Amino acid sequence: MSQICVTIGRGRHASLLAEWKAAAEAGAQLVELRIDCLRRDPDLKRILANRLTPVVFTIRRGADGGLWRGDEDKRRKLIREAIVMGVEYVDLEVDTSKEIPRPKFGKTQRIVSYHNFQKTPAKIEEVAEEIAKGDPDVTKIACLARTHGDSSRMLAFASKTQTPTIALCMGPLGQFTRILGAKFGAPFTYAGFNPDLTFAPGMPRLGEMKSDYHYDEIDRDTEVYAVIGDPIGHSLSPAIHNAAFRHLGLNKVLVPIQIPDGVLKESLAALSWLDIKGMSVTIPHKEAIVPLLQAMDKAVERTGSCNTVLKQDGKLVGHNTDYRAALVSLERALGGSPEDENSALMDKQVLLLGAGGVARSIAFGISRRGAGVTICNRDEERGVKLAEEVGCKAINWSMRAGTPCDIIINATPVGMHPNVDDSPVPAAAFKPNMVVFDTVYRPENTLFLKLGQTHECVTITGVDMFVYQAALQFRYYTGKDAPIDLMREVVRKKLNPAKDD
């Protein structure tokens, strides 16, 4: 099984040792000590005297993304000293590995590493051939991903190598390679520990790798799922689905893949070899993915929006679980049920803020239930276009506070973390007994909802909708009923952590 190697680097010896102790207590089984971060001469006897975990000993030069300020001879002397002291691993750059040959005695393993913070080389195999001249026990290649083609090539290379290899892409487009390395034989991956320190772009933290991805349980047989969008770092889909997968003993993992707007088709093509079994689709791709589907359910056909994709017999099949989840949340808040012959939404007047993928799903759903819908969007042209497709009214954004309605639904990102002090409508828009529904779930209790509560409105949080749509997705992914109480518990814990990891 692949391990998580926790990277620790501090300016003072005492701080380094204290953080190492905290990481070990948090479950770290392997720690990379970034000795180059120390602001004075390293005292290896003090540092390595009482090892709390096995060690990867690293002194990274500035040219390779490190902080070493001393001369090269001194750096290499410290590496040799660490080998004599029997550290489990030393990290050697390609040129350094040729100057520090393997000693005749001792058990220290050699990680020969290549870092490129500008790009991913076109021929990764040639980089590996050069690394091989340094007599590695472990090959490490870490490069910046500029496209998903880069990330895909990196994992494809890892899947073919015979030498134990850590092959990952740095940056937001490559974060998922740090998780899926375990599927392709990586002996370990790297994670941070101190939330205030980042050693490489896209590096996750120990708690995230353990609790959100169950990294140490991923193996070659693990089936891959994904959530795609931009931004994607805020998504709770990995935490909620991976907890459910493990709860039912399913060897599956869902990873976040950040795909910028405008490159969806080529990104999915580059990643197709990974055989991603299913995808949760979020902003900005819910509409853009529809033309790429080979089949779709009626909700997708009706709304032109898709938030769930399955790969079946090589075809992409689209579903819309936002549609169902929003209707259930609203009808329950109104005292009704989706099974009622006459919907509780019948003849209700709804002000819908937004015109994106979620807004489309909700607009079509509630209009079919007999509600009167008024769409209001900052981009008025887009709002009018959606209103014409649905067959409802559209108004200018400036009119939103004075529009009479029974229900206000926020389907915009306004109020989403980190802009938690924003509301899509002012306090004057709220009236007692009005239903106020926010599709934003991070934070759960947005300013929009707080204003509604202050004015004695019935409120529906984004968590209600998010958990229910995720449970429907889980059914598509697995054919099994989702552990919905567990999913809700995971979401609430992520949104309201008792303390930081």
Q: Which residues are catalytic?
A: 115, 140, 286, 322
Q: How far apart are the first and last CA of the chain?
A: 23
Q: Any idea which residue has 């679980």 for tokens? A: 321
- Is residue 378 a contact partner of residue 398, using CB atoms and an 8 Å limit? no
Task: Please report, for residues 419, 443, 450, the alpha-carbon distance to residue 456 in angstroms, rounded to integers and kept in the order given.
Answer: 24, 20, 10
Residue type, 320: N
Total residues belonging to the chain: 501
- Is residue 434 a contact partner of residue 406, using CB atoms and an 8 Å limit? yes
User: What residues pair up with 140 in beta bridges, in sequence order?
Assistant: 113, 166
Task: Please report, for residues 228, 289, 418, 440, the alpha-carbon distance to residue 260 in angstroms, rounded to integers and kept in the order given.
Answer: 9, 13, 20, 21
Structure tokens at 89: 């691993």
List, in order, residues 6 or more apart from 50 with CB less than 8 Å away.
none
Closest of 188, 120, 190, 194 to residue 157, by C-alpha? 120
DSSP H or E stretch at residue 21: helix 13-25
Burial class (CB in 10 A: 0-12, 13-18, 19+), 457: buried
- How far is it, in rounded angstroms, from Cα 358 to Cα 326? 9
- Is residue 90 a contact partner of residue 57, using CB atoms and an 8 Å limit? yes
- Is residue 427 a contact partner of residue 454, using CB atoms and an 8 Å limit? yes
Task: Please report, for residues 23, 38, 190, 245, the alpha-carbon distance to residue 234 in angstroms, rounded to integers and kept in the order given.
Answer: 24, 33, 21, 20
